[in-house]
Amino acid sequence: MNKRVISKIDIKNNTLVKGVQLEGLRTLGNPKKYADYYYQNGVDEIFLMDVVASLYERNNIGTIVKDIASDVFVPITVGGGLRSLHDISDMLKSGADKTAINTGGLKNPEFLVNAVKEFGSSTIVANIEVVRKGEGSYECFYDNGRESANISLRRWIDDLISIGVGEIILTSVLDDGMGHGFDENILSDIPVNLQIPLIVHGGVGSLNHVQALSKNDKVDGFAIASALHYSAKSYVMENTNNEGNYAYLNSGRVPLNIEPLSINDIKDIL
């Protein structure tokens, strides 16, 4: 099966932001313009994440989802602040195909059970934020990587399989925005016979990182943010009216060792 290329769009206060290790969020621009660019260039899916929704116990990106879904015709996953079946229903009505749940599920696993029963496994994605805690030990976090759930990755994976979620997006918090590659040691905690798609996110900064991950049979796709955003900046700047951090985008500075990647280049590698 071909591995999917997914653009991850983090949203705060209706703008696309990007940080390092899920912190220090820098405004980049209009999320719809980025989504339009990725769709036009052949992305397989888009993952929209309200990165402060769980922290502030709110959910208000429905309007953005509607706006993007009106012109983008690939599957859209939406996450951030989903705490009830009503929240999930609202996102689906706004145009989401799938909903990603992390904080709400860790705090109340019964919520995930009910969500799967109500909407079906294919609609419910487990969004896992994991932090390395000592040699070979990984722990699940929530609130955009701020708080520990005091549960190991392997135990939570087992729970999610029992619950029946349809997909897992696995973020390595310490690698996010660093551009030095995804921590493949995390994958040792993933069962060989997982039987649901696994999407990895965090650390991809070059085509070599994509190629290395593409050889791992446990990985079904890549959610990429920084490396795609810095390749899309020219289009976004040409198609917006003073929206976004023009001074930063014009500076030519790319964080750390991240190589701007086009979707075509990634697909050529795959």
Active site residues: 10, 129
Instruction: Give the C-alpha separation, 51 to 23, whole Å.
Output: 10
Instruction: Give the C-alpha separation, 176 to 204, whole Å.
Output: 8
Torsion of CA 180, 171, 4, 189, to 10 degrees: 100
Listing DSSP states for 19-30 in one string gives EETTEEEEEEE-
Q: Is 253 exposed, middle or buried (0-12, 13-18, 19+ CB in 10 A)?
A: exposed
- Residues facing residue 250 across a β-bridge: none
CA distances from 2 to 5, 19, 42, 258, 269 (A): 9, 29, 14, 24, 11
Which residues in 13-25 are b (16+ Cβ under 10 Å) and which e?
eebbbbbbebeeb
CA distances from 125 to 69, 137, 167 (A): 19, 23, 5
171: how many CB neighbours lie within 10 A of its CB? 27
